Amino acid sequence: MDDRRKSIRIPVATVAHITPHGLESSTKVMVRDLSTSGMGCISEHPYQKGDVLRVKIKLTTENKEAIVETLTARIAWVSEINVQKYALGIEFHDVELKNPNLYAYVMNLESFANPG
């Protein structure tokens, strides 16, 4: 699956809130990696491939500045880990244009992960 990725995935440990399109209530997911084109996370809810979501994520920079972004996203894949635990691949859309602070932050992390 890694060979299809558009961007380098950077390991992170944070919580995001995801809200399915058309709903008001969100659920927490544990984010395990992040890139300019998406994120991998663990959920207790069995989302479906293709589900459209709103993702709210908060990150803290090395300067202790908070980046809080809300993104439009789509479930790219779902894999059951065990009962009530699912690995999700979430694909972002237009991050560079719609979420430039997040895009710049992740690009900076990618430059450290892939200096060459």
Q: What is the pLDDT of residues 84-94, one digit of tens each?
A: 899 999 999 89
Task: Write down the mean pLDDT value for the chain.
Answer: 90
Q: Nearest Cα to 40, choosing from 23, 63, 21, 57? A: 57
- Indicate whether 96 pLDDT > 50: yes
Q: 2-113 maps to which CATH number?
A: 2.40.10.220
Mean pLDDT of 38-46: 95
DSSP 9: P
* Verdict on whether the full-model pTM lies above 0.75: yes
Query: Is residue 31 packed enough to be buried (19+ CB in 10 Å), middle (13-18) or exposed (0-12)?
Result: buried
In the chain, domain spans:
2-113
DSSP 84: T
Could you count the other beta carbons within 10 Å of the beta carbon of residue 42? 13
- Indicate whether 74 pLDDT > 90: yes
Mean pLDDT of 45-63: 93
